[in-house]
Structure 1
Amino acid sequence: MPKRVLTGMIVSDKTDKTIVVKVERKVKHPLYGKIIRRSKKYHAHDEKNEFAIGETVRIEETKPISKLKTWKVVGRVDVSKAPKHVEKIDIAESKDVDLEAAREPEAKTEA
């Protein structure tokens, strides 16, 4: 039996050598016929810790590595969408943005 290969987006990389990949699929509702999205999260083995949150990767089924991990990362799908560096910015402390001016509507017309 061939190994299953799935494609999904990384939603967590907090643990060592493990990533969580969210795989979405589209299914038709049995009664109403509407196409709906279903998703499932898989824990996958990342030996070198080389993948980051937001990247789209391909994972392959393998023998059980731990209680939750039965998948390993095969590779990236699209490198151009991978985040280079994620930086958290506290807007309240930022001096660049004037919050009061941003809240006022810009399009004021005089009659």
Structure 2
Amino acid sequence: MSEKKVERVLTGTVVSNNRNKTIAVLIERKVRHPIYKKYIKRSTKVHAHDEKNKCALGDLVRVVEAKPFSKTKHWALLEVVEKSVFVD
């Protein structure tokens, strides 16, 4: 039986695009504290492959888990959901 592997797709904000073909994406989630039942923000920063260097700082992007591109880069840019209105 062949089962199709489920792709992990996450949405986050671009916090760095200084390196060539690489972006750093901050992914925020809310988790519930087991004792106090309060929701807490937790965040993870992942490095993603941006082949065409089309992301800017502050863009809302969707990334998908992919084969390793390097030591720390295991995600690939799927799409830019919303462009930022960030002005230098």
* Same fold at TM > 0.5: yes
SS at match of 1:42: strand
Give the TM-score normalised by the residue count of structure 1.
Answer: 0.72
- The CA deviation at 1:78 is 2.1
2:64 aligned with 1:60, yes or no?
yes
Which 5+ residue runs of structure 1 have no aligned equivalent? 88-111
Give the aligned partner of residue 53 of structure 2: 49
Give the aligned partner of residue 26 of structure 2: 22
Which structure's CA Rg is the greater one?
Answer: 1
Same amino acid, percent of matched pairs:
51
- Higher percent of residues as strand: 2
Which contiguous aligned blocks of 4+ residues in structure 1 show a shift greater than 3 angstroms?
A: none
Paired residues in the alignment total: 84
Amino acid at match of 1:68: T
Distance in 2, matches of 1:19 and 1:86, equals: 19
Distance in 1, matches of 2:82 and 2:59, equals: 8
